[in-house]
Structure formats: structure tokens, C-alpha cells
């Protein structure tokens, strides 16, 4: 159905939801003015807040979420497909979902996706995360159709789980999305390689809008929003500051890459039944 222009909005969300959404709205407008028909924002578009108490003071169930309502009106105004990388929405007395939304050009919610893999990790330098203490993980793999191509959802840490992207590609997705708030230290080591690998191994476009820079809550995120073609080449890349990157997405490139390397059709059932469990060293 032809090519279309896609954009990533890179953000540096702070602790004020209204300031964050103002900034997001202005950059989304800029992307649409630049010709983008699909615009993606990063994980936690409305708020970067790891303190549980502060987070729960600022979030509501989806039906009452004012950021979501405002972004839906914006998509309608601009007549664009708007992919909100994620918002924290309350799903229980002390649990939230890290939930992505695809908003249609008439402002409807075309799809939702709850982040599946929780970032419960201790990094170097005492940087430590327990996402599962606050968020309830999703379990459903999700795809949604744009007029031009099928989109597959993921969020941030999901990027490390290749089987998810294979499932998305096998479900017909030609555009894989990975909005993120990657840490500065793991991003520097892994971000580009993981995203390019997901594109190459599935023959898909990858779009990953990122948070970047030093945030009000003290965190540092990696930035470097990326748009990658199905051959693994980088079409557009941001630096560390907030802004917009754009690239043309031609679905024919998906077919071409999958024709050159038809790995997606060469999957085999492998036997894991008889394998032993984790290796344990017997040395002192
Ligand atoms: O909750 C927020 O404020 C923003 N969300 C995040 O920062 C999320 C969950 S803590 N970060 C990641 O998943 C980083 C993954 C990563 O960096 C890696 O896999 O190396």
C-alpha cells in the first residue's frame, strides 16, 4: 500500500506530568508538520518516576487518564497514527501497568500493549531496578494494523527477549516497535546491537523512541532513538537531547529482505525435552 513517513519523538520526561505532556505535544506537532503519518513516543511518555509513592499520586485508571485523553485529541487534530510508547496506568490498589497505546487518526484506541518483561536488575555502580514491585506484567503478545503495514508491540527491556519479536514477525508484523527508557550504561553497551539484531533476524523495520539525558528524578537514560530498515541499516538516529527523527518506511523493503534471507520460514522445532537444567560449577 505504498510508503509512509514515520517519526520518533525523543523525550526527557521529568516529574511534572503536565510539563512532560506539553513537551511531547509540541514535538508530536513538529513531527506531523514535517510529514509524519505515524509518530511514536518513548516508554513513560507522561512521567519518569521510580518512587512508588510519588508515582501513585500521579497516576489514575486508564478511563480517567488526562494525558491519554489529550493525546487522543491530538492524534485526531493532526490526523496521524500516534503510538504512545507507554503510560503508567493504575490497574489495582498498588499496581500499575506499563501500557502502550496505538491511537488512530480519529482519536480512537486501536490497540493496547502491557509490557511483558519486568526490569528487575542490579547494575554496576549500585543502580538497581525492581519494576515488578510496582508494575503488573502483561502476558499477551500484540499486533495492530496500520494502513501500510502490521505493527508489533514491545517496550524497553522486552528488547532482550528475541522470541517475542519472532512471534510478532510470525504473526505478520513488518514493523517492530521498542519505545524505551534504556539506562545510559546498558544502552551504551547494547542498544544499537539489540535493535539491529531484531531487525535483521526478522527482516523487519524497527522503530524505537527513547528517553534521553539526565532526568529530574536523578536517572540517566541513553537516548539515541532509532529507525532501522529490514536489512539492519540505521535510517535515522537521535542524540541525547529531546527532538524528532523521521524516515520513510516502505513495506516493500520487508518483502525484499525476507526474500534475500528467508530465515523466518526456516524455523525448526527443536527438542529441549532431554536437556539438563542450569549448569552449576563444581569448582571452589
Ligand atoms: O519507570 C520508569 O520511570 C521508566 N521505565 C524504565 O526505566 C524501564 C523499567 S525500570 N526501564 C527499562 O526497562 C530499562 C531496560 C534496560 O535499560 C536494559 O535492558 O538494559
For the chain, list the domains and their CATH numbers: 4-263 (3.60.110.10)
CA distance 157 to 166: 16
* Residues 159 and 198 sit within 8 Å (Cβ to Cβ): yes
Of the candidates 23, 43, 49, 131, the residue annotated as catalytic is: 43
Structure confidence at residue 284 (pLDDT): 62
Report the number of secondary-structure helices (H) and strands (E) in the chain.
Answer: 6, 16
Task: Report the C-alpha gap between 55 and 61 in whole angstroms.
Answer: 13
Torsion on CA atoms 193, 195, 198, 204, rounded to nearest 10: -130
pLDDT at 41: 99
What pLDDT is attached to residue 22? 98
Q: Which atom of ligand 1 is nearest to the CA of 119?
A: 13
Residue closest via CA to ligand 1's atom 6 equals: 181
Residue 64 a catalytic site member: no
Pocket of ligand 1 (CB under 6 A): 43-44, 48-50, 119, 129, 131, 156-157, 160, 181-183, 186
Of 190, 209, 193, nearest to 201 (Cα)?
Answer: 193
Please give the pLDDT value at position 244: 98
Taking 70 as the pLDDT cut, the residues of the chain under it are 1, 284
What span, in angstroms and rounded, lies between the C-alpha atoms of 123 and 155? 19
pLDDT score recorded for residue 282: 81
Q: Is 115 a catalytic residue?
A: yes
Ligand 1 atom at minimal distance to the Cα of residue 47: 3
43 belongs to the catalytic site: yes
Amino acid at each position: 500500500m505504498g510508503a509512509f513517513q514515520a517519526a520518533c519523538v525523543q523525550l526527557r520526561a521529568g516529574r511534572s506530568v503536565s510539563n512532560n505532556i506539553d513537551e511531547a505535544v509540541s514535538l508530536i506537532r513538529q513531527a506531523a508538520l514535517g510529514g509524519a503519518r505515524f509518530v511514536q513516543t518513548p516508554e513513560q511518555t507522561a512521567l519518569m518516576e521510580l518512587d512508588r509513592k510519588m508515582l501513585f499520586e500521579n497516576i489514575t485508571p486508564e478511563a480517567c487518564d488526562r494525558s491519554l485523553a489529550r493525546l487522543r485529541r491530538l492524534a485526531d487534530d493532526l490526523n496521524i497514527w500516534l503510538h504512545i510508547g507507554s503510560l503508567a496506568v493504575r490497574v489495582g490498589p498498588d499496581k500499575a501497568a506499563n501500557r502502550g497505546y496505538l491511537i488512530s487518526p480519529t482519536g480512537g484506541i486501536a490497540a493496547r500493549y502491557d509490557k511483558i518483561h519486568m526490569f528487575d536488575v542490579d547494575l554496576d555502580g549500585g543502580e538497581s531496578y525492581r519494576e515488578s514491585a510496582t508494575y503488573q506484567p502483561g502476558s499477551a503478545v500484540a499486533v495492530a494494523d496500520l494502513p501500510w503495514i502490521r505493527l508489533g508491540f514491545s517496550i524497553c527491556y522486552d528488547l532482550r527477549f528475541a522470541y517475542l519479536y519472532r512471534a510478532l514477525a510470525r504473526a505478520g508484523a513488518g514493523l517492530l516497535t521498542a519505545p524505551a527508557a534504556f539506562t545510559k550504561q546498558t544502552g551504551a553497551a547494547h542498544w544499537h546491537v539489540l535493535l539491529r539484531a531484531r531487525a535483521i533476524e526478522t527482516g523487519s523495520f524497527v522503530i524505537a523512541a527513547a528517553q534521553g539525558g539526565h532526568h529530574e528524578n536523578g536517572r540517566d537514560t541513553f537516548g539515541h532513538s532509532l529507525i532501522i530498515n529490514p536489512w539492519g541499516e540505521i535510517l535515522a538516529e537521535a542524540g541525547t537531547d529531546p527532538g524528532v527523527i523521521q524516515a520513510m518506511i516502505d513495506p516493500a523493503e520487508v518483502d525484499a529482505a525476507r526474500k534475500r534471507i528467508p530465515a523466518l520460514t526456516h524455523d525448526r522445532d527443536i527438542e529441549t525435552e532431554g536437556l539438563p537444567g542450569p549448569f552449576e560449577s563444581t569448582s571452589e
